[in-house]
Amino acid sequence: MIDQVLIVEDSKFAAKVLSRALQSELRVECVVAHSYAEAVVQAERSDFLAALVDLTLPDAPVGAAVDLLTGKGYPIVVVTAELSDQVQQMMWKKRVAEYIVKDELLDRQYLVGLISRFQKNGGITVLVVDDSPVVRGYTAGLLRRHRYQVLEASKPSEALELLGSNPHTCMAITDYNMPEMDGCALTRLMRKDRSREDFIIIGVSAQGSAEVSARFIKSGANDFIHKPFSPDEFYCRVGQNMTMLESIRAIREASLRDFMTGLYNRRHFYDVGKSALERARNNGTPLSLAMVDVDKFKLVNDTYGHDAGDEVLKTVATMLRDESGAGATTFRLGGEEFCVLIEGAGRDELGRRLEHIRGSLQNAVIPAGDLKLKVTASFGGTSELQASLDDMLRAADECLYKAKDTGRNRVVLTGEATA
């Protein structure tokens, strides 16, 4: 389902600029209301990703449309012609998520980044730790306005318990003065098994900002905010830290992927495979490994060119990824050679899955420019747990060579000639 963004703006030009910016760069649809009356109709809905709302409309008092939509469960972004301290304070009192000055509408990067942030935040969990119910509620409320999922803890022991039961939490925002231990001590405990590149910690305190901030950073925090803080500063700090975390993850993920096909690479195969083999041994669960090689791939390159060969590899990669089934991870080991690792699948299941993929590939027509190509692949696999991952890879590779030697376009597993 495509996310929808509500735009309440009487200027058709401004509404068009906003719509074009979002729809050209994000997977969203824009619903436009050009007046307060039209906004009333849209206010019946509560399923928008966000709303961009003009502060001043000709058929309503200033801020009326904002009041109309506040509390609907999605972020409200105010669009205003001017920004004074008075207007800014009024908007934060209305509990809006953000604001944009109309003169800045052409800054597409900021607008797109903001809406993109809302799209991502629904899957991001943040822990707020503060013994003051008022401060904790205020901080959690700011986060929820930006669609973050929020956990709340009133003391450090509760915070550690929540992290243990919610391991995918990405960020913790912790106060300094608390019962049981201070925020720096809690930071050190949280940081023991969570790196700065995987988990953000932001310290908060109303006292001794210079000294306390240094203590937080030395204890393992990523950032520090001095209380009282404005919503502007809070959102900037939280947003920048989340962007940094996502950038690090993206770089790390790219280093594990094959650039052309998007499958995981040989380096990641060994990381994943060794862990999978250890789990299979410890838990007594099945593990299968298959080698896949495109038949006569050199002939494809020599006859039709490397661009056509690349399309063949991409198609094979997509088919392996999409049709290998539950528990499977797919890799490109190099050239036309692929690998499939399947946790929880024994020999019979491995044979069924590989035979299905083999048949699907045999029947596939691969577009490559003006060409329509057909290829086949050979498969070799094993479900016998070996002393090492290399031994399993070697066993699967031997079966692959048997498949090649006995006519190609077939599946061979350890324990029998063909399947």
Q: What is the pLDDT of residues 341-354, one digit of tens each?
A: 999 999 999 999 99
Residue 89 has pLDDT above 90, yes or no: no
Other C-beta atoms lying within 10 Å of the C-beta of residue 416: 10
C-alpha 173/C-alpha 208 separation (Å) is 18
Residue 208 has pLDDT above 70, yes or no: no
The mean pLDDT of 356-383, rounded to a whole number, is 94
The mean pLDDT of 267-285, rounded to a whole number, is 95
What is the DSSP-derived secondary structure letter of residue 176?
Answer: S
> Which range is least confidently modeled, 94-98, 197-201, 374-378, 383-387?
94-98
Q: Which amino acid is at 112?
A: V
Residue 9 has pLDDT above 60, yes or no: yes
* Closest listed residue to residue 393, CA positions, set 412, 411, 380, 406: 380
Percent with pLDDT over 70 in the chain: 97
Cα dihedral 140→141→142→148 (10° resolution): 70
C-alpha 71/C-alpha 304 separation (Å) is 60
Confidence class for position 94, pLDDT limits 50, 70, 90:
confident
C-alpha 19/C-alpha 52 separation (Å) is 10
The mean pLDDT of 206-232, rounded to a whole number, is 89
Instruction: For residue 225, report the phi and psi dihedrals to the nearest 5 degrees.
Output: -130, 130
The mean pLDDT of 268-287, rounded to a whole number, is 95
Confidence class for position 418, pLDDT limits 50, 70, 90:
very low
Give the bridge partners for 153, in sequence order.
Answer: 129
All structural domains of the chain, each given as residue ranges with its CATH number in brackets, are 3-119 (3.40.50.2300), 122-255 (3.40.50.2300), 266-413 (3.30.70.270)
Residue 385 has pLDDT above 70, yes or no: yes
Active site residues: 336
For the chain, count helices (H), then strands (E): 15, 17
Residue 82 has pLDDT above 90, yes or no: no
- Which position has the higher pLDDT, 339 or 108? 339
The mean pLDDT of 413-417, rounded to a whole number, is 76
Residue 416 has pLDDT above 80, yes or no: no
Confidence class for position 104, pLDDT limits 50, 70, 90:
low
* Residue 340, burial from CB neighbour count under 10 angstroms (0-12, 13-18, 19+): buried
Q: Which two tokens stand for residue 388?
A: 């090492």
Give the bridge partners for 215, in sequence order.
Answer: none
**Sign for the pseudo-dihedral over CA of 92, 97, 98, 99:** negative
pLDDT at residue 226 in the model: 92
pLDDT at residue 242 in the model: 95
Instruction: For residue 344, report the phi and psi dihedrals to the nearest 5 degrees.
Output: 90, 5
Predicted TM-score (pTM) of the model is: 0.77
* Residue 288, burial from CB neighbour count under 10 angstroms (0-12, 13-18, 19+): buried
The mean pLDDT of 192-210, rounded to a whole number, is 89
Where are the alpha helices (H) located in 261-296, listed in sequence order?
266-283
Residue 106 has pLDDT above 60, yes or no: no
Instruction: For residue 37, report the phi and psi dihedrals to the nearest 5 degrees.
Output: -60, -40
Question: Given strand 411-413, what is the order of strands in its sheet?
Answer: 328-334, 337-343, 287-294, 377-382, 411-413
pLDDT at residue 76 in the model: 95
Residue 337, sorted as left (phi over 0), alpha (psi -120 to 50) or beta, turns out to be: beta
Computed over every residue of the chain, the mean pLDDT equals 92
Residue 110 has pLDDT above 80, yes or no: yes
DSSP string, 179-237: SSS-HHHHHHHHHTT--TTT-EEEEEESS-HHHHHHHHHHHT-SEEEESS--HHHHHHH
pLDDT digits (tens, 9 = 90+) for 237-270: 999 999 999 999 999 888 999 999 999 999 999 9
Confidence class for position 402, pLDDT limits 50, 70, 90:
very high
Q: Which residues contact 212 (CB under 8 A, 6 or more apart)?
A: 176, 184, 203, 205, 224
pLDDT at residue 85 in the model: 79
Helix 183-191 × helix 156-165 angle, to 10°? 20
The mean pLDDT of 399-409, rounded to a whole number, is 95
> Which range is least confidently modeled, 45-49, 94-98, 189-193, 274-278?
94-98
Q: Which two tokens stand for residue 359?
A: 């048949």
